[in-house]
Amino acid sequence: PLATRLFRSMERYSWLTALKLGDQSITYEDLNQKALAVGGLLARYGIRDQKIGIATERSFSAYIGILGAIYAGCSYVPINQNLSKAKIEHIVRSSGIKVLVGDESDWHRFSQKLPTLNTLEYVILPESESESESAGLLSVDNAKVVGGRDFLSAELCHPIKVSDDQVAYTIFTSGSTGAPKGVEITRGNLSSFLDNMLNYFSLNPGYTSAQVHPLSFDFSVFQVFFPIITGGVNCVLLPEEIYCPS
């Protein structure tokens, strides 16, 4: 199963750096632990086989949220913050999203683009420093904002097992000709894709890759998951680094 495969790979490469963002980094051990905590939090709240909105882009929280959703038997939906308020509302409503995973660094900006939906139940901020800081952040729809001790005390021992036929993620189109349209990809599809990519790349653990594309673009799936199963260091590039690499 996909979740078990990711979990075992991060255990295998636990001492290696998983992600780099500017001058910050996180190991596979820490990434795995925080993903299990998000998964445990979702399980505690009875969230399973649901779509989890990823309301942050180039942050550790995004990857923690993606993996946590998969560990909890859910799927993830990356939400492009640059979309209009109407398009974000369409994505949240049509996906039935009740939980958002965000990051303190950009949550205020993103929350201002969210309409009043009366459907959101939880906002999870994996990298928040404390409960009090999380609670003080702007929320929407009276959703509970979770971080700090609530987050760290919910860790799963291992991912929840689900069928390969279950959805792993949903990518929405930009909606340039109308409302954004969602395309669902199953866990089995994603695993088969990763297996196929292994036929083309032979890399030693610790190699460096780059996260260039936004999470709402389909090629980002390769950039997110392939380094995990091969022990690579995923350098998450900021917009200024992409446009002006020198």
Indicate if the pLDDT at residue 206 is higher than 60.
yes
| Widest distance between CA atoms in the chain | 48
Please give the mean pLDDT across all residues of the chain: 87
Confidence (pLDDT) at 185: 96
Rounded to whole angstroms, the Cα distance separating 115 from 129 reads 27
Q: Which two tokens stand for residue 221?
A: 């799936």
Rounded to whole angstroms, the Cα distance separating 73 from 111 reads 26
Q: What mean pLDDT do residues 75-84 have? A: 91
**Residue that wins the pLDDT comparison between 112 and 152:** 112
Other Cβ atoms within 10 Å of 11 Cβ, number: 12
**Residue that wins the pLDDT comparison between 54 and 141:** 54
108-149, pLDDT tens digit by residue? Answer: 777 777 766 677 888 888 887 655 444 445 556 677 888 766
| Contact in structure between 26 and 15 (CB atoms under 8 Å) | no
Residue 229 CB burial class (10 angstroms; 0-12, 13-18, ≥19): buried
Indicate if the pLDDT at residue 169 is higher than 90.
yes
